[in-house]
Amino acid sequence: MKEPNEPGGRVVLVTGASRGLGAGIALAFARTGAQVYLGYRRREREAGAVAQAISEAGGRAVLLGFDVTDFASVQAAVERLMQAEQRLDVLVNCAGVVQDGWLALQSAEDFRAPIDVSLLGAFHCCRAALGGMLSRRTGAIVNVGSVAAIHASPGQAGYAAAKAGLSALTRTLAVEVAASGVRVNAVLPGLLATGMAVRLDQRKLRERQAHIPLGRLGTAAEVAELVLFLASDRASYIIGQSIVIDGGLTA
């Protein structure tokens, strides 16, 4: 039997798990034997497909629909999870949206949309999850940011601001809860062959890929391995870090 302080013995909640990187992270946890809750808002069919893939791979997954921008919705979802499992060991905040457009032409609503999901949503999820983690004096939170937090991404001002804020939240929260046995870190992926990058104009994508020293896009599996590491006791002395995984794009 896997020990509860290793990924395989844990209860894990991944937000934004209905597709892309979130789905890849959820599948990676499930392959270790973790009980994975798939957080999603509208894409129930896609989330169900991820759950089926996890089941076919021998893992265990539960759909958990809620809106990360609404604290009452988040709190109710976490309470349902806690009633079923009695604990939440790992929270992965992966929900995010991009609202592309030059800042001079954007409305306040367009600018705020990524902030509401990526930053405020992570705050809501952390706040809801921390009660149980702090009472048990154990837990890990991994926030999924972006290299847009540290590298100019023209046309994505709101997204960049949200991800930069997420790194700041990660540092501050990590220090606040470290003494209570909860570790908080972030990963900053670059261009990946999944999710938002694949919806870019192909010409622009090739131009950006040309600036990656490794000469290729990253994969969800590669990012998931870093998330798994940060959520495990192998990373027990790492807190408050935003670790870049981008093939050298920002080196």
Q: What is the DSSP string of 49-79?
A: HHHHHHHHTT-EEEEEE--TT-HHHHHHHHH
Compute the Cα dihedral for 211, 212, 213, 216 and give only its sign.
negative
Alpha carbon dihedral 227, 16, 115, 229, in 10-degree steps, equals 0
Asked whether the CA dihedral 88, 93, 97, 103 is positive or negative, the reply is: positive
- Report the 10 Å Cβ neighbour count for 133: 23
Q: What are the strands, taking DSSP E only, across the chain?
A: 11-14, 35-40, 60-65, 90-93, 139-144, 182-189, 242-245
Question: Which two three-digit tokens encode residue 166?
Answer: 């997420």
Q: Which residues are catalytic?
A: 159
Q: What angle do CA 221, 16, 110 make, to 5 degrees?
A: 120
- Phi/psi at 33 (5° precision): 100, 5
Q: Which residue has the tokens 């009980």?
A: 35
Q: Are 93 and 142 in contact (CB under 8 A)?
A: yes
